[in-house]
Structures are given as structure tokens and as C-alpha cells.
Amino acid sequence: MGSTITLKNVAKTYPGGQPALRRLSLTVAAGEFLVLLGPSGCGKSTLLRMIAGLETITEGELHLDRVLANDLDPSERDAAMIFQNFALYPNMTAAENIGFPLAVHKQDPAEVEHRVESAATALGISHLLQRLPGQLSGGERQRVAMGRATVRRPSVFLLDEPLSSLDARLRTRLRLEILSSARKSGATTIYVTHDQAEAMALGDRIAVMRDGILQQVDTPRGLYALPANAFVASFVGTPRISLIHGTVYAPIDGVMAISLGAQQLALAMPLSRDHQMLRVVQGSPLLIGLRPEAVRIAERTRATEFERPLTGIVEHVEFQGHETLLHLSIGGQRADVPPQALPDLPAGPARSNAAGLTRKLISHAKAAVRRRRAASPLPPPSSGIETANSGELVVRASSGAHHRRGQHLPLLVDVRSLLVFDERGERVSPDPTHIPNL
């Protein structure tokens, strides 16, 4: 059975360096498969190595099954780790490499043979057991390495980008094998990657990190539909979310709308609770996030009660086989993810509590009232769409459809699917208590 891994305000600063991890708190349940996801240098490997006992913890506490483990020797942690380039003993056969951790502990040779065979069968390498590493392909060597890590049946399985040196097809196959082997063994697994597709495919939950700060921990579905901030929104999902600079207009006696530059989206009346809350950020610079599935190509006469029309000019056509991606100009300005990493989540479930968000929004209210006095009315839709800042909106088209550069396309946007972030990149809509129906 796997161990519960608890990190409490864990921090790491390498000698003479910047903090690599800042006060990170996280609990991984026994038997859970957690993926650590983030760009290069965000501290993923550091965290994994601290759990394995290969790196000291500067501050905070690590508990394995509620036992304080900060100073436990790696051999006392019942954890196995696999690295990107796992070294096998070149003069030992695959069978001897896999059985090595058991032989070291002087296990009965018959038991060693049995365990090696069952590990090799699970990984589909029984026929390779008598070969030396030099006689194996990269993928086969990696499976032997996995066999060596799993043969001891550790409580904790730590994988640091184990598939990144393999080709895409093999990677897809091996990641399923890793998943099924982790499920069978019941070990608690932490898997490091910077590949969001791999993270989405594997994780029970995904912990997204940036600059040594935990940004969000959630299921793949939760991360996609309700990203805590613009960084998470843009890191998760293919194709990437379109982030466009926008503003909320909330006239006392008119329809509330979101301006995306040259075009506007009137919000559906009566306003949803999420959209009522947007009143307090009116006039502020915002980032509006549109996932491709929030937009469809259709004439305005086909609009449902929640869809609003936009016009897009095709800037680039990306044929993907099963679908075509269209990069469109809508007269808006593409927004970048704010450069500063947002501070760690508060401990516990407060983040998913609507009251927390409401409090935060209300704290904007005074400033909003001041801005409202100065706010200019909703600008009239402009007659032409500037394409200088081109291709800010990405939408899906069927692979059979033929589109060409410069074509004007009628679009419908489902305003219930808008993700709205403040200037710092923190999500202000929708409300964290429910998931938009993407």
C-alpha cells in the first residue's frame, strides 16, 4: 500500500542561490497518482528529490504516513525513483539489473527470480531478460529501469521525466504502462513532467508550479475548466486558450458587456451570479480567456440565448488532420500571461470557497465605484477590424472545411464559457463553486 505524503510549508534555497521552492504545502493521498507540472526551472525535480531524500529541506516539514521524514535516510523512506536517463549496470543482464535491489537485500534467489519475472511480464519485457543493456533500445532500457524501481514494491514511486528522451509513440505507450503498473502496485506516485498532455493523461490530480510556487492542485478536468489564474489557463489545454485584453462595461441602465477591443460581447440577461460579480471589476484592465470550444463558426441567426456574435478574419490556417485550427483577428489585443508568479494558495479548501472569492471581489468594489464615475461609455463597435495584432483568437474548424487567409467568418461566443482574469492574472470569473460547461 502507498504512503501518504504531506508537505507543510516546504522551502528550498540552494547555497548561494535564489529560492527554488517557496513555502509549498501539499498532501498526496495513499495510492494517488499526482503529476507535478510546470516549465523548466520551476522546482519540480527539487521537490521530488527532497521527497526521495536526495536533497535537504531548507524549511518546513515532510511527513510520510504522518512520520516526520525530513532527516530520514533515503533507504528508510521506502521510495523508488526513476530519472530521465536512468543508468543500468552495463555488464549485468536485464534480469540481473531488475533483481539487483532484491539481491542487495539478500532475498531468497527463487523469490528474486519470481519477482523479476512478474515485474518483466507486467512491463512486457520477459523476452529480453537475458540481454545486456547495450543490446536494448532506449525504450526497452527504460522499461528495465522501471522494473528495477518497482521490483521492491515501494510505497512511494517518484518519476522525474522518465519518458522525455523517447519518441512520441513510445512515450504514449509507456505512460499507459507506468499508469497501470502504479495502479496495480498501489504505490503513491509522483510524476514530474513539463508536458501538459502527459500530465492530463496520467494524473489523478495535477500540481501546477511556477517559479517555485504552487499555483493550483486539481483534477485534469478541474484545472482545465476552472484554472486559478491565467498562467494555469494557458499552460493547460491544446490548443492554448486565447487570452485577450478586455474591459467590463456595466452601465446602470443598460446591458452589461465585455469589450474585446473593436468588438463587444453583451452578457446574457438576466445576469448569472458570476456575471453580476463582474460589475465590481468594470473599467479595470482584464484578461479574457476563450477556450476554442467556447467559440463556433456560425451565422448570428443560429445563436442560442447565451451566444453572442463576433466577426473574425482568418490570419492563419493550421491543418492538424483530425481538425483545423484557425487563427483569427477580431480587432483585439493578445494578452500575455503576467510575468510574476502568483503567491501560493491558502492552505485548505478556502480557495474553492465562493465566500473567499466574493470577499476578494468586494475588496475591489470601492475602487470600482471610483472608476465607475470616470468610466467612459461602451465604445461603438468599430467598422473595421485591425489585423496588426493578428490571430489573437484560435478556433476549431472541421478538417473538411476550406478556409483561406483574409476570409471574414461569422462567430458565436458562448458567454457562459468566458474566463475572466484580473490584471495580475488571478481568476475573477467564473465563481469557483461551479465548473462552466465546456
Ligand X SMILES: Nc1ncnc2c1ncn2[C@@H]1O[C@H](COP(=O)(O)OP(=O)(O)OP(=O)(O)O)[C@@H](O)[C@H]1O
Closer residue to ligand X, CB minimum distance, 206 or 415: 206
Which one, 17 or 134, has the nearer CB to ligand X? 17
**Min dist. Cβ of residue 58 to ligand X (A):** 12
Partnered with residue 205 across adjacent β-strands are: 34
Q: Which CB sits closer to ligand X, 37 or 280?
A: 37
Q: Which is nearer to ligand X, 17 or 380 (CB)?
A: 17
Whichever of 44 and 141 has its CB closer to ligand X, that residue is 44
- Shortest Å distance, C-beta 270 to ligand X: 46
Least CB distance to ligand X at residue 84 (A): 8
Q: Which of 438, 413, 419 has the alpha carbon at shortest distance from 310?
A: 413
User: Between 41 and 254, whose beta carbon lies closer to ligand X?
Assistant: 41
* Closest CA relative to residue 205, chosen from 382, 386, 435, 34: 34
What's the maximum distance between 2 C-alpha atoms anywhere in the chain? 83
In the complex, what is the shortest distance from the CB of residue 38 to ligand X, in angstroms, rounded to a whole number? 6
β-pairing, 257-259 with 264-266?
antiparallel
Whether omega for the bond prior to residue 239 falls within 30 degrees of 0, making it cis, is yes
Site of grid cell 525530513: 70
Query: Are the C-beta atoms of residues 229 and 425 closer than 8 Å to each other?
Result: yes
Q: Which one, 203 or 289, has the nearer CB to ligand X?
A: 203
Of the candidates 207, 212, 208, the one whose C-alpha atom is nearest the C-alpha of residue 22 is 212
Centroid of chain to Cα 333: 25
Q: How far is the CB of 41 from ligand X (least distance, A)?
A: 4
- Shortest separation between residue 48's beta carbon and ligand X, angstroms: 8
Q: Check residue 269 and report its DSSP letter.
A: S
CA angle 24, 30, 31 (to 5 degrees): 115
- Least separation in angstroms between residue 26's CB and ligand X is 15
CB of 14 to ligand X, least distance (A): 3
d(CA 48, CA 53): 9
CB 171 within 8 Å of CB 163 = yes
d(CA 136, CA 127): 11
Tell me how far the alpha carbon of residue 294 is from its chain's centroid. 19
Q: Which is nearer to ligand X, 14 or 319 (CB)?
A: 14
Provide, rounded to whole angstroms, the least separation between the CB of residue 311 and ligand X.
41
Q: Which residues contact ligand X (rule: CB under 6 A)? A: 14, 17, 20, 38, 40-46, 194
Q: Which is nearer to ligand X, 42 or 326 (CB)?
A: 42
- 17 CB contacts (<8 Å, ≥6 apart)? none
3-state secondary structure 4-41: CEEEEEEEEECCCCCEEEEEEEEEECCCCEEEEECCCC
User: Beta-strand (E) ranges in 102-183?
Assistant: 156-160
Closer residue to ligand X (CB): 213 or 250? 213
The DSSP call for residue 421 is E
Minimum CB distance to ligand X, residue 19 (Å): 9
Closest distance between ligand X and the C-beta of residue 211, in Å? 9
- 50 versus 257: smaller Cβ distance to ligand X: 50
Cβ closest to ligand X, residue 194 vs residue 205: 194
Nearest distance in Å: CB 362, ligand X? 36
DSSP string covering 188-240: EEEEEES-HHHHHHH-SEEEEEETTEEEEEE-HHHHHHS-SBHHHHHHSSSSP
Who's near 421: CB < 8 A, 6+ residues apart? 229, 230, 233, 243, 286, 287, 288, 289, 427, 428
